[in-house]
């Protein structure tokens, strides 16, 4: 039977309320028990037998299982409808054009139908929607006999060209998934070999097919490795050299959406490598691209651009500017949920580093969804960062009971996962934080410093992840009794070694 409790646990409070309203409108009988079952499963305090007894007064297993099945189907329908509401509006617009054109073709209104198809083709080509273009060309070919004005040979040529592009996209998608699988199973130290071998396996000559879109897909592939290992130095030269290579091709399509994505990824990689001036230079270029085409893509990338700009400011002693940038996005609604979450968490970090703990705590209270929800929207690693900041914040605010519960929750929720991805350093860090919390008087002693020294392998700050360094800076500031933000900046401006794999 479907694990309804697991599915329902992903619902936020708003989702649960909307789903309940959905069931109320859907129910035709007043004695329907689906809402009651949903609420009982959402509470997650009773097992199946207890729920069955509460609903029916005795063990009517057949009725209970039928009710669960109907509830599951309602959840699927509700989720599908919600997804359609959030679906890419451009793709939905093109699909509507195709359906409308086919309707007019059946009515023999050929001129109107082909005009609508031309509109759909223009949009699809601009956004590289190869599957939809295939449907458009297929329809044009099917009804070419009824519309003599169409250039049949030209349509065939476009159809074949699109089919090649679609095939390449599918192949790159396979390569992307296969490389992700290999990275999850193997040592990631030889990324270039893994990439070359996988591309060769599928007979893909990436240079001959080089475009902003294919480069973006490649960046997505290599970024998986960088993210998994926190080694952005490994991919920096590859990104910049390949990008410069594509700029030398004057005949390449503009592809502004993917061009902006690429420049953003380069800026982000340079930031992660603590090359802040270079990162800002690419951000300037990104902003210029966002303003082109009548600022068509400005809103699409506005959050990512401003977040990365503020991060560069924060780590180059311009924290007030960083805070001002992000504060302008608070309490507004945006479709880019992941960027919104990053903005809120980054602003919490800025307030925390600045010592404005009440502001940090007030903003942190806006994270009211479940960890399962945040994991789905922003990833498991984001949830771990949020949980760590939560612990440190309550320690600073001296919320004794909350610190104990947060530490216990972190151990239960994340230790097993951290061990599975070989991130023992995070476990070690939490144990040191807990030790400090319980023995604050020992934090400045040589004994504690030796304990920290012997707990990690150490590498240069040039190679370590910037966010890992930020967490370590808090512990270091306690050991040295210095201002957190000053300690943080100091770590980025010298060659001091810090914990490897913290």
> 3-state class of 27 per DSSP?
coil
Rounded distance between C-alpha atoms, residue 94 and residue 307, angstroms: 32
- φ and ψ at 457, to 5 degrees? -85, 150
Is the distance from CB of 314 to CB of 322 less than 8 angstroms? yes
Is the distance from CB of 280 to CB of 306 less than 8 angstroms? no
Mean pLDDT lowest among 48-57, 363-372, 420-429, 487-496: 487-496
Task: Give the pLDDT confidence score for residue 501 in this predicted structure.
Answer: 42
Structure tokens at 82: 């919600």
Mean confidence (pLDDT) of the chain: 84
Of all residues in the chain, what percent carry a pLDDT higher than 90?
A: 40
Q: What mean pLDDT is predicted for residues 334-341?
A: 91
The 10s digit of each residue's pLDDT in 181-194 is 776 665 545 566 77
In the chain, what's the furthest Cα-to-Cα distance?
A: 88
Rounded distance between C-alpha atoms, residue 269 and residue 273, angstroms: 6
Highest mean pLDDT among 246-255, 360-369, 441-450: 360-369
Q: Tell me the CA distances in angstroms from 87 to 74, 96, 360, one per residue in order.
A: 20, 13, 34
The 10s digit of each residue's pLDDT in 229-277 is 556 666 787 788 777 877 765 445 567 888 899 899 999 999 988 999 9
> 3-state class of 407 per DSSP?
helix
Mean pLDDT lowest among 1-5, 100-104, 337-341, 489-493: 1-5
Mean pLDDT lowest among 284-288, 407-411, 452-456, 491-495: 491-495
Q: What mean pLDDT is predicted for residues 60-77?
A: 86
Task: Give the pLDDT confidence score for residue 492 in this predicted structure.
Answer: 80
Instruction: Say how many Å lie between the first and final Cα of the chain, rounded.
Output: 41
Highest mean pLDDT among 306-310, 375-379, 398-402: 306-310
Residue with tokens 């959402």: 42
Task: Give the pLDDT confidence score for residue 192 in this predicted structure.
Answer: 62
Is the distance from CB of 303 to CB of 319 less than 8 angstroms? no
Q: Is the pLDDT of residue 500 over 50?
A: no
The DSSP letter of residue 482 is -
Query: Per this entry, what is the length of the chain?
Result: 502
Helix residue ranges per DSSP H, 328-396: 337-354, 357-364, 371-378, 380-396
Q: Is the pLDDT of residue 499 over 60?
A: no
Rounded distance between C-alpha atoms, residue 426 and residue 415, angstroms: 9
The 10s digit of each residue's pLDDT in 127-164 is 788 999 999 999 999 999 988 888 899 999 999 999 98
Residues 6+ apart with CB under 8 A from 117: 97, 98, 101, 136, 139, 140
Task: Give the pLDDT confidence score for residue 88 in this predicted structure.
Answer: 55
The 10s digit of each residue's pLDDT in 98-137 is 999 999 999 999 999 999 999 999 999 877 889 999 999 9
Task: Give the pLDDT confidence score for residue 495 in this predicted structure.
Answer: 46
């Amino acid at each position: 039977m479907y694990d309804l409790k697991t599915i329902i646990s992903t619902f936020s409070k708003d989702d649960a309320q909307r789903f309940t309203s959905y069931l109320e409108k859907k129910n035709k009988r007043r004695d329907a028990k689906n809402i009651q079952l949903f609420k009982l499963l959402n509470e997650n305090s009773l097992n199946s037998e207890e729920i069955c007894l509460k609903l029916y007064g005795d063990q009517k297993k057949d009725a209970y299982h039928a009710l669960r099945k109907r509830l599951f189907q309602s959840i699927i329908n509700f989720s599908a409808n919600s997804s359609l509401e959030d679906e890419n509006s451009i793709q939905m617009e093109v699909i509507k054009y195709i359906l409308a054109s086919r309707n007019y073709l059946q009515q023999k209104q050929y001129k109107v139908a082909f005009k609508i198809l031309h509109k759909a083709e223009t949009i699809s080509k601009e956004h590289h929607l190869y599957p939809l273009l295939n449907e458009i060309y297929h329809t044009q070919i099917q009804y070419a006999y009824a519309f003599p004005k169409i250039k049949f040979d030209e349509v065939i040529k476009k159809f074949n060209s699109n089919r090649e592009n679609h095939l390449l996209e599918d192949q790159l998608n396979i390569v992307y998934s296969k490389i992700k699988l290999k990275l999850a199973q193997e040592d990631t130290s030889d990324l270039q070999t893994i990439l070359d071998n996988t591309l060769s396996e599928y007979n893909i000559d990436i240079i001959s097919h080089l475009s902003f879109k294919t480069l973006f897909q490649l960046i997505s592939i290599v970024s998986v490795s960088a993210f998994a290992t926190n080694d952005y130095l490994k991919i920096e030269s590859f990104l910049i050299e390949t990008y410069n290579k594509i700029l030398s091709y004057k005949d390449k399509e503009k592809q502004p959406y993917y061009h902006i994505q690429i420049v953003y990824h380069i800026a982000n990689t340079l930031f992660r490598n603590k090359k802040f001036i270079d990162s800002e230079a690419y951000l300037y270029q990104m902003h210029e691209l966002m303003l082109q085409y009548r600022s068509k893509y400005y809103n699409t990338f506005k959050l990512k651009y401003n977040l990365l700009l503020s991060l560069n400011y924060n780590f180059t002693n311009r924290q007030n500017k960083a805070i001002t940038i992000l504060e302008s996005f608070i309490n507004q609604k945006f479709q880019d949920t992941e960027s919104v979450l990053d903005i809120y968490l980054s602003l919490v970090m800025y307030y925390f580093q600045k010592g404005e703990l009440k502001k940090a705590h007030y903003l942190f209270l806006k994270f009211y969804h479940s960890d399962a929800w945040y994991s789905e929207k922003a990833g498991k690693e984001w949830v771990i960062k949020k949980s760590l900041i939560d612990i440190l914040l309550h320690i600073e605010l001296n919320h004794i009971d909350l610190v104990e519960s947060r530490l216990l929750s972190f151990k239960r929720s994340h230790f097993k996962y951290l061990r599975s991805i070989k991130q023992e350093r995070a476990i070690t860090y939490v144990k040191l934080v807990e030790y400090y919390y319980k023995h604050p008087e020992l934090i400045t002693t040589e004994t504690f410093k030796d304990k920290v020294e012997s707990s990690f392998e150490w590498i240069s700050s040039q190679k370590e992840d910037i966010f890992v360094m930020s967490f370590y800076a808090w512990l270091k500031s306690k050991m040295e009794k210095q201002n957190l933000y000053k300690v943080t900046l100091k770590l980025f401006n010298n060659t001091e070694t810090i914990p490897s794999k913290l």
